[in-house]
Amino acid sequence: MEVIKYPSREEWASLAQRPAMDVTALFDTVRTVLDEVRREGDAAVIRYEEKFDKIDPSTFRSLRVSEQELLEAEELVAEDLKQAIRRAKENIETFHASQRFTGKKVETAPGVTCWQKAVAIEKVGLYIPGGTAPLFSTVLMLAVPARIAGCREIVLCTPPGKDGKVHPAILFAAKVAGVSKIFKAGGIQAIAAMAYGTQSVPKVYKIFGPGNQYVTAAKQLVSLKEVAIDMPAGPSEVEVIADESANPAFIAADFLSQAEHGVDSQAMLVTASESIVEGVMQAIKEQLDRLPRKEITEKSLSHSRIIVLKDRQEVIDFTNLYAPEHLIIQTADYAAIAGQIENAGSVFMGPYTPESAGDYASGTNHTLPTNGYAKAYSGVNLDSFIKKITFQEITADGIRQLGGTIQTMAANEQLEAHRNAVTIRLNTL
């Protein structure tokens, strides 16, 4: 892991680079799968499940998860995990319910009234990756706000194991969160199924959820004309801001909890206190040796960094340039620093607020912008599942008041029909 001390501002942009892959290189491969699913529907999805997820065809009777499978899954989930999932769901529900939009009517001019109405996106698709760990927490993060928003159909796709079954914790979380339909499909073929619709999988209007570079490329391609997506996504990342008041063991734990996500994840420690570096490095080494995912974590650490800057302001400025997905602030003045952060997905303040709290159960959403997109994107929230429709009503007095303004602007844009739509009304008054 690199330690960079007192780099110049000219070096910051290169230090803020992620180990992200250019997914455009995958577009030809991804298009092939998308096109086959669009043409053939379920048959193509099943064929690619056999190819990519290595399922046994003899165990794969239907793409859709049955009620019997949901009941069996519930029996297989340990009671303590059930309780944890239910409690996390309640906190996520409480936080996202507080985000409900309340529109109000505004009279912009006498006789001219405008307002907004929030309407749920009718059909949404949730993608939950398979891979090295079952992300049942992501089920809650996506399905709970979708249900609160009032989405009528919540479709979930997730890859099955080789036995043709979905991890029971994913199924239990989906049931608890109120998912409408669950399908055994992963990767490009799952995104295609939700984007185009198949004989089994309904077409949706917006797709949510993380995935590998193939899923990311598929989401980008289908978003060009078929369906909306939540946000661009890349490997997960964390930045820790710390000073000499921070506990090195806490910093190391936060570093490693992010690094174990995957080999392309990135962790950054940014500090103006050079004295803490050695202690943090030692704590990382000690904790790493005890991790079951040590090999994955080590690869992630190879493109992670510790950056020592000259003062507090440089730390803040670098952070706003880096725009981390997760930002943990472990300094004596963490609240003051947090107040100056403009670009971050989710901020974790103080020594007792690990990133894993937001990943699981504090209530905030863990589906967040990566790769610097926090400069322009929000993480998933209730508004992600809502569209807002504007309304306006103009009385006869209102069109008398506003008509001249509209006519003048339309005439100067040389749009005579626009001007006439006002003139013809004024002539009746």
Q: Rounded distance, CA 182 to CA 412, Å?
A: 55
Residue 359 in marked binding region: yes
Q: Rounded distance, CA 57 to CA 346, Å?
A: 42
The question of whether 107 is a catalytic residue gets the answer no
The question of whether 96 is a catalytic residue gets the answer no
Token pair listed for 198: 């198949």
Choosing from 49, 69, 226, 325, the catalytic residue is 325
Residue 189 in marked binding region: yes
Q: Which residue has the tokens 């992600």?
A: 384
Q: 38-43 long-range contacts, Cβ below 8 Å, gap at least 24?
A: 38/192, 38/196, 41/193, 41/197, 41/198, 41/199, 41/200, 42/198, 42/199, 42/200, 42/201
Residue 326 in marked binding region: yes
Residue 205 in marked binding region: no
Choosing from 96, 303, 326, 366, the catalytic residue is 326
Residue 62 in marked binding region: no
Residue 418 in marked binding region: yes
Q: Which of 345, 305, 311, 304 is nearest to 243 (CA)?
A: 311
Q: Rounded distance, CA 129 to CA 111, Å?
A: 53
User: Other C-beta atoms within 10 Å of 277: how many?
Assistant: 18
Residue 167 in marked binding region: no
Q: Rounded distance, CA 270 to CA 242, Å?
A: 7
Q: Tell me, what DSSP letter sits at residue 349?
A: E
Residue 236 in marked binding region: yes
Nearby residues of 275 by Cβ (< 8 Å), 6 or more positions away:
244
Complete DSSP assignment for 147-169: HHHT-SEEEEEE---TTS---HH
Backbone φ/ψ region at 338: left (φ over 0), alpha (ψ -120 to 50), beta:
alpha
Extract the annotated binding site for NAD(+): 127, 189, 212
Extract the annotated binding site for Zn(2+): 258, 261, 359, 418
Extract the annotated binding site: 127, 189, 212, 236, 258, 261, 326, 359, 413, 418
Extract the annotated binding site for substrate: 236, 258, 261, 326, 359, 413, 418
**Residues with a known catalytic role:** 325-326
